[in-house]
Chains A and B, each alone.
Chain A
Amino acid sequence: MEQFTQEFFNLDVMTKVAPFLLQGLLQTLLLCSFLIPIGLVSGILVMLLTTSPYRLLRWPAIVAVDFFRAFPPLVLLVFVYAGLPFIGLRVPALVAVAVAFLINSASYYGEIYRAGMVSVPKGQREAARSTGLSATQTLLYVTLPQAIRNVLPDLLSNTVELVKLTTLASVISVPELLHSANLARSLTYNSSPLILAAIIYLLLLLPVVRLIARLEHRL
């Protein structure tokens, strides 16, 4: 038992590495601060394409969404980061993370918005258009808000997934939280930094996960 505490809950090690992990946390938050808003907005664009009345727009978009939903994000990340330099396109690790995860999350967000749009009765759009609202106004003021309300738990849950996804950036040495923790682990020969990182992730995400569970059961 003591060995277990020493290895996983060593307070000396935890206090020593805490400032280092906080720097990692800042990097994680930085990643989230642009991945989440851009993901949410590009998801709407993807949804507009996959629900477009024009077949020439709709079908390629649906194929692309399915392709990238089948593409493991880590494989995409390694492909962008390690593959492109071979043709002279050397991208910084942060850019590779941004490109790979935005492609991935835009596909997922897009599918969620689409499910939301499908759940809004057709009459809503027809009524809005017949009162003289333009197509854009109808989307912004009538159908999209209802769609978002209907799939709010899914949007939140995908956002949690996106935050968890940022840990994959550690594989290409972006100094985010998990990467810092793993580095600290190898320097201290002790796993407490990993547990500390796990605790930080729990503090960050557990409240959202609880909120999602409550929203889901209310619906």
Chain B
Amino acid sequence: MDLYITSYCLVRDNRVVVNDRLVFYQENILKFADFIKAVYQQGQINYPKFYKMDAISKLGFVAAELVLKETSTEGLDSGAIGVVLSNASSSLVTDIAHNETIKDRNGYFPSPSVFVYTLPNIVIGEICIKNHFKGENVFLISESFNARLLHDYVGELFENGRVDACLCGWTELNGDIFNAMTVWVTRAGFTNSEAGQSYRPLLFSAENMNVIMSHN
């Protein structure tokens, strides 16, 4: 079965690339919080819950929204849209934030809105809530970006008719170092014609995901 990457998004350092187009660039490297806020605002995503998310969810959410802007989910059953994401550091940045709230016995105020984000799959929940995706979903951990793992997992979902479309990618944040890559995968025929973009779909393969990831 032929599957295609009909759009992709890269978020890293000081820039954002969507379908080979540089859509955001800052000369100076910003702190992650300022950077992602600037990308969110420029992307006109308009979703106030964004501000309540932890850093890793903001990263994954923005990378997902920018891919989804380039594609149409019309005609797809919400239960047949999957989300498969991965990273290396799980929710470590937020784990450390939660840990700070319980370090001191005299200032012991664990915060539910921090704690809830100490799971890597919460970003999947945020993406699903915004877009009403209800299909297969999983968060995988690997030491570094593993295109083969993602490809095989997602490929199986299509192969056995579990999904008709899937958001797939890597959303890594550790300290102020971050790197996100999302791709929208569909069967042949479900291309991004409606968005009217000139991007030519790539075959969904581990090799092509590595090519996208190594984009400069």
Same complex: no
Which A residues fall within an 8 A CB radius of B?
none
Chain B contact residues, CB within 8 Å of chain A: none
